[in-house]
Chain A
């Protein structure tokens, strides 16, 4: 009786602190998965690396075209592969969530008192942190084969774009995972992000794209993100090339985050 009274008198833990602890626990769970099954991370690292080396070997001669802004195709293509790695990592977060749903883990999370946005934030932030692994691996390989140093500012902007792209991709993957509640939706998660990242000036500058792709790239928000991530590798860093990327990613994150949250609220425990 006395103990119960003491408990009632104890100061309540602030909600923000509990939420932060929950997000931290969900991120730690994702990290444990990475440490305990390191093989699971290999495809996410390998695929963008193969794309980077493959595209460089295959399309390297494109720099000979008039109007190409750099003579180093590896420098031009490396941010694409880093963003691709972010896209794959984000999509993988969705696949893992679908797997957790199939296994009943999500049901247990949903009956917990944690707000829905906290549960989503744990998944999204874990994907964001995880995306730095393939990005760093690809960049390391890139430097080894001659990618130009983008400067500290260029590098930081590139990593910011990678991390937030992974967060947006994780929102997209989570939305589909919660909607379809099955890992069978994995191709849709991957193809959606792959399409968004590649229907940009990924292979060549805007002016050299075929007219139909130029039109698509002009309305694709990832074009601004790619241009911001790429600027340090192909020239100087300017605020004019940076803010559109930040704005595009913020918009994408708000839109996809809201949709993912909507699906999470609709999901019954």
Chain B
């Protein structure tokens, strides 16, 4: 059941350009613009040693795509609620959690797709993956798990509100969280107050976990910090989703 619903959510995304565009087109466009526009920044004193700015930016692009995949998953889930599809699933003899899990499986698959897409772009345009194949696999695993975690929050909001436009309205918030993390620039070189906020933003830990195998190699401590941050978001998503599911079942 989870597989069927997950496959449905992936098909839905690839059939609707308005859902796919934020996951692929916009992050790719921004990656190109930021790499070309701010590429000289690697000469700044304090910039970590990297082969190129593209190599540095790959993790940021993956994070942006992953966050937007979570948001798009939430929108699609809310559309299902609005159209009555979820009500039909609730009435079917299947476990309730499988309905949410199916949607999250689809979001995680989109996260995996995003990580492969951006690693491929990086390799095509000359970026090295310093951690080799294990490093690339680690980055892919972290992005996939993050998509699952962020998708949980998107699903919770969709279940709670049942409104696609409310979930869509969170799009600017996604951008805020991204800009206030080290996704696009080293945290030490950011301007206050973004610098201080980025230091404590859980997304910064995930970004560094994804970036480290690309720009330097696998580092156990950085990876563990990323896993802990993802676990924290997963727990938050689970709590919120479970409460929202109860609410949805109560109000119909």
Q: Does B191 lie within 8 Å of A57, measured CB to CB? A: yes
B190 touches A (CB below 8 Å): yes
The smallest C-beta distance from A133 to any residue of chain B, in angstroms, reads 16
| Complex contacts, B169 vs chain A, CB 8 Å | 42-43
A191-B26 contact given A47-B175, A65-B41, CB 8 Å threshold: yes
Chain B 20-38 interface 0/1 with A at a Cβ cutoff of 8 Å (1 = within):
1110011001101111111
Q: Does B179 lie within 8 Å of A187, measured CB to CB? A: no
B239 touches A (CB below 8 Å): no
Size of the B side of the interface (Cβ < 8 Å), in residues, is 39
Q: Does A54 lie within 8 Å of B185, measured CB to CB? A: no
Q: Is the interface of B mostly helix, strand, loop or mixed?
A: helix
A209 touches B (CB below 8 Å): yes
Q: Does A43 lie within 8 Å of B176, measured CB to CB? A: no
Q: Does B175 lie within 8 Å of A51, measured CB to CB? A: yes
- Whole-angstrom distance between the alpha carbons of A263 and B169 in the complex? 31
- Whole-angstrom distance between the alpha carbons of A203 and B178 in the complex? 17
The smallest C-beta distance from A22 to any residue of chain B, in angstroms, reads 31
- Whole-angstrom distance between the alpha carbons of A50 and B173 in the complex? 9
- Whole-angstrom distance between the alpha carbons of A54 and B184 in the complex? 10
- Whole-angstrom distance between the alpha carbons of A222 and B203 in the complex? 34
Size of the A side of the interface (Cβ < 8 Å), in residues, is 41
- Whole-angstrom distance between the alpha carbons of A194 and B28 in the complex? 12
| Complex contacts, B40 vs chain A, CB 8 Å | 62, 65, 204, 208-210
A65-B43 contact given A54-B179, A59-B38, A204-B37, CB 8 Å threshold: yes
| Complex contacts, B37 vs chain A, CB 8 Å | 198, 201-204, 209-210, 213
Q: Does A61 lie within 8 Å of B25, measured CB to CB? A: no
**In residues 24-64 of chain B, which contact A (Cβ within 8 Å)?**
25-26, 29-30, 32-41, 43-45
The smallest C-beta distance from B200 to any residue of chain A, in angstroms, reads 15
Q: Is the interface of A mostly helix, strand, loop or mixed?
A: helix
A231 touches B (CB below 8 Å): no
The smallest C-beta distance from A24 to any residue of chain B, in angstroms, reads 30
| Complex contacts, A191 vs chain B, CB 8 Å | 21, 25-26, 29
- Whole-angstrom distance between the alpha carbons of A202 and B195 in the complex? 22
A46-B190 contact given A53-B179, A194-B26, A199-B33, CB 8 Å threshold: no
Q: Which partner residue on chain A sits nearest B185 by CB separation? A: A58
| Complex contacts, B45 vs chain A, CB 8 Å | 64
Q: Which partner residue on chain A sits nearest B179 by CB separation? A: A54
| Complex contacts, A216 vs chain B, CB 8 Å | 36
Interface residues of B (CB under 8 A from A): 16-18, 20-22, 25-26, 29-30, 32-41, 43-45, 169, 171-172, 175-176, 178-180, 184-185, 189-191, 193-195
Could you write out 8 A-B pairs with CB less than 8 Å apart? A47-B171, A50-B175, A62-B44, A64-B44, A187-B17, A194-B26, A203-B37, A203-B38
Interface residues of A (CB under 8 A from B): 42-43, 46-47, 50-51, 53-62, 64-65, 73, 183-188, 190-191, 194-195, 198-199, 201-204, 208-210, 212-213, 216
The 9 closest A-B pairs by CB, nearest first: A54-B179, A213-B36, A57-B194, A203-B37, A187-B21, A60-B191, A198-B33, A210-B39, A210-B36
